[in-house]
Amino acid sequence: MKTFLTTTAFALMASTAIADTITLYTSQPNADAQQTVDAFMAANPGTEVEWVRDGTTKLMARLRAEIEAGNPQPDVLLIADTVTLEDMAQEGLLTAYHSPEATNYDAALYSAEGYYHSTKLITTGIVYNTGIEAAPTSWGDLTDAAIKGQIAMPSPLYSGAALIHLATLTGDDSLGWDYYEQLATNDARAKGGNGGTFKAVASGEKPYGMVVDFLAIRNKANGSPVDFVFPEEGVSYVTEPVAIMSTAKNVEGAQKFVDFLLSETGQDLVLDMGYIPARDGMGVPEGFPARDDITLMAFDPAVALENAEANKAKFAELFGAE
């Protein structure tokens, strides 16, 4: 009898441990991921998080292989962009969850069906080397013939944020594909990701560029000879959304994780990391303009997903396939 009771106790402990553990796949930088997990577990004693970190593309390749093998591991995803999650939602790979915290967010920042919720705003604007004579104020300034051959930008063939940026600007009535054709005429260089673009501008190799906000603003604070502009037409943005897998083993734990990220406490964490919180009424990191002074351009993840391959092909025609 004693042996039976002991075995039963261990079985109950094991099942409890499984129920109180969630598995997270995230593309956050390692330090941010650790900070996020630690804060969540501190706010939810007894719930453990096992997490895997990699770039969104590699992470999705791993997850797709797991799905193909019939053994997907994560309960919850926290990755770079809504387009990737929109694709998964359309395939039936995500569970809808209407977080009560969503009432504190602009409706454009989460799936109406509850498949994913944005956690932060990472915008793309204009970075320029402070050695230039006149600072740009709009996207249109990059088409000025006077700066021909002096513009760098990340390639949407390489960067997910750049692909969303392309979809946003080409979907804007005042810019459209005409704008990218003008950039091509102005010999804008499109190669690699945001990091390479920033280095080109900071070094003066290409005095103007398109880049994600925090990269320029943080480096400016550390003495880099750059400044960042939120163009008057508005900015594109990625939002590091969170979603629950349809195969999640711990749905309740995953829902707690979503609620925590969207809560004021979770959004304070985003602010501490140096990003713009997605939640209404929050502050902004040092060096950023007030949230009300940042215009977010219209963006539809479903439309961007539908047009993704065509957009890449057309971009390659204009700028090459590097």
CA separation for the pair 103, 55 (Å, rounded): 30
Each of the 322 residues of the chain gets a pLDDT tens digit; together they read 444 344 444 444 444 444 589 999 999 999 999 999 999 999 999 999 999 999 898 999 999 999 999 999 999 999 999 999 999 999 999 999 999 999 999 999 999 999 999 999 999 999 999 999 989 999 999 999 999 999 999 999 999 999 999 999 999 999 999 999 999 999 999 988 999 999 999 999 999 999 999 999 999 999 999 999 999 999 999 999 999 999 999 999 999 999 999 999 999 999 999 999 999 999 999 999 999 999 999 999 999 999 999 999 999 999 987 6
CATH C-level class of 2-119+239-286:
alpha beta
pTM of the predicted model as reported, rounded to 2 decimal places: 0.89
What's the pLDDT at 191? 84
Query: For the domain 121-237+298-319, what is the CATH superfamily, name and number?
Result: Periplasmic binding protein-like II (3.40.190.10)
Q: Where along the chain do its domains lie?
A: 2-119+239-286, 121-237+298-319
pLDDT value for 8: 41
Q: What are phi and psi of 148, to 5 degrees?
A: -55, 135
Biggest distance spanned by C-alpha atoms of the chain: 88
The pLDDT assigned to 321 comes to 77
Long-range own/partner contacts, residues 302-310 (CB < 8 A, 24 or more apart) = 302/86, 302/90, 303/167, 303/171, 304/83, 304/86, 304/163, 304/164, 304/167, 304/168, 304/171, 305/83, 305/86, 305/87, 305/90, 307/167, 308/83, 308/163, 308/167
DSSP run (H or E) holding 82: helix 82-90
pLDDT at 322: 64
pLDDT, position 199: 97
What DSSP state is assigned to residue 117?
B
83 is written with which tokens? 């387009």
Got the DSSP string for 6-34? HHHHHHHHHHHHHHTEEEEEE-S-HHHHH
Residue 11, pLDDT score: 42
CA distance 251 to 31: 26
